[in-house]
Amino acid sequence: MILPDRDSVRAIAEGRPTPAPLPRIHKDGPPDGKAPAVTGSPSSLRDLLTLIRPHQWVKNGFVAIPLLLTPWAWTWGAAVFTALGIVAFSFTASAVYIMNDYLDREADRRHPKKRHRPLAAERVPIPVAFLAMGILLAMGFGLAISISGPFAGILALYFGLNIAYSVKLKHVAILDVLIIATGFVLRVEAGAMLAAVVTTSWITIMIGLLALFIALGKRHDDLVSNMSLSHRPSLAGYNQAFLSSAMTAVLGALLAAYLIYTTDAETQARMQTEQLFYTAPFVAAGVMRYLQLMFVEKRTGDPTRIALTDRFLQGTIGAWALCFGFLVYF
């Protein structure tokens, strides 16, 4: 038997209509798993900003790596083209996020955290989301085409690969993390094109390994947080032992590649210094800090948010940048 609440008893005593009962809110979403756990409300600017995830734009800073690692190629023209390239990638990446959230909205409603995403919570109507996606794509590709056709081609490849990832390929174990790593490599190749420089094979290898390491860490976090297979089917192809071994192998390869890069004769001639190996401890410290966050402090999750909030990690990145910049530019 359901007992009336205090407001209902008071209303009956005063001869007023009883108020309608409030719906129960379930912690992990509705019991049937179909309806959204958070009721919708009209979209706002804040919801739209959440949808396009501007905090993720920091990833597109990888476009600037070729210019930053090539001191003699630094010109105002190269800097402007690189900055515009970052903007074009940011707009396009946000369009991808919208498509991904649209495709995952039903599964997100059953997730304790992702159910609060604007599309899953129905705070942004689907037509509005698609309109925003169209505007972002128009601005991103319009800017890319105005820069150069080849750059627009790389951006189109990046967009197509990520749409394929969102639709199907993210459900395939191993292939999912390789596609994430490829996205970062494409950013670097696009940056090299904008700066009119040729990146060394070691830079491409290191960026790919770094991105692969972070992607594997994200899958490890998915397992630790007990994400369901219905939300991330590719987890069926992973377990913690496999991911730990894979991350160890990738980490070893990454550090070895960085040491080879800093002591390579061609690199030393390009950078006009033989002291780049002094930056290696900062790389090792940053990677070990990420491992510490993952395995000791259990604070993994979105790698971008970690990089933007963890002071130790920010310190190692900043120290590396200062040391590298001093050795190369002074």
How confident is the model over 237-252, as pLDDT tens digits?
999 899 989 988 998 8
**25 within some domain:** no
Tell whether 140 and 220 lie within a shared domain: no
- 227 and 278, same structural domain? yes
53 and 105 assigned to the same domain: yes
Structure tokens at 96: 């991808």
CB 268 within 8 A of CB 276: yes
- What integer pLDDT is reported at residue 133 of this predicted model? 97
* Residue at 19 is within a domain: no
d(CA 242, CA 252): 15
Do the beta carbons of residue 123 and residue 41 sit within 8 Å?
yes
DSSP for 179-231 reads HHHHHHHHHHHHHHHHHT----HHHHHHHHHHHHHHHHHHHHHHHHTT--TTT
Please give the average per-residue pLDDT across 245-274, as a whole number: 92
pLDDT above 90 for 317:
yes
Give the mean model confidence (pLDDT) for residues 36-51. 69
Residue 213's nearest CA partner among 162, 289, 281 is 289
Task: Report the range of poorest mean pLDDT among 51-60, 94-103, 302-311.
Answer: 302-311
Give the Cα-Cα-Cα angle 285, 58, 209 (nearest 5 degrees).
Answer: 50
Same-domain status, 224 and 301:
yes
pLDDT attached to residue 43 = 59
Beta strands in 37-117 (DSSP E): none
- Number of structural domains (the chain) is 2
Same domain, 56 and 194: yes
The Cα–Cα gap between 194 and 148 comes to: 8
Q: Is residue 50 part of a domain?
A: yes
327 or 23, which is more confident?
327
Q: Determine, yes or no, domain membership for 30.
A: no
Both tokens assigned to 105: 């909205």
Q: Contact, 317 vs 262, CB < 8 A?
A: no
| Statement to judge: residues 108 and 231 lie in one domain | no
Note if the pTM is more than 0.85.
no
Give the CATH number of the domain where residue 139 resides.
1.10.357.140
pLDDT at 31: 46
Mean pLDDT of 106-133: 90
Please report which confidence band the pLDDT of residue 307 belongs to, taking 50, 70 and 90 as the band edges: confident
- Mean pLDDT score across all residues of the chain: 86
- Whether residues 216 and 190 fall in one domain: no
The parent domain of residue 159 ranges over 42-198
pLDDT at site 7? 52
Tokens representing residue 138 in the block:
């128009």
pLDDT score for 25: 40
Q: What is the predicted pLDDT for the residue at 16?
A: 52
For residues 214 and 168, state if they share a domain. Answer: no
Read off the pLDDT band of 300 (50, 70, 90): low
Note the pLDDT of residue 113: 83
Look at residue 184 and tell me whether its pLDDT is greater than 60: yes
Domain shared by 58 and 150, yes or no: yes
Residue 97 has which token pair?
Answer: 């996020």
pLDDT (tens digit per residue) in 215-241:
998 888 888 878 778 778 899 999 989
SS3 content of the chain, % helix, strand, coil (to 5): 75, 0, 25
- Clarify whether residues 218 and 176 are in a common domain: no
Residues 130 and 210 in one domain: no
Distances (CA, A) of 327 to 278, 279, 282: 9, 9, 14
pLDDT beyond 80 at 127: yes
- If asked whether residues 208 and 194 sit together in one domain, one would say no
Is 218 contained in some domain? yes
304 lies in some domain: yes
Tell me the mean pLDDT in the region 175-198.
95
Query: Given this model, what pLDDT does residue 42 score?
Result: 53
Q: What angle do CA 63, 69, 75 make, to 5 degrees?
A: 80
Of 213, 210, 327, nearest in space to 279 by CA: 327
Domain boundary residue, one of 151, 166, 198: 198
Nearest 5°: the CA angle 182, 99, 135 is 100
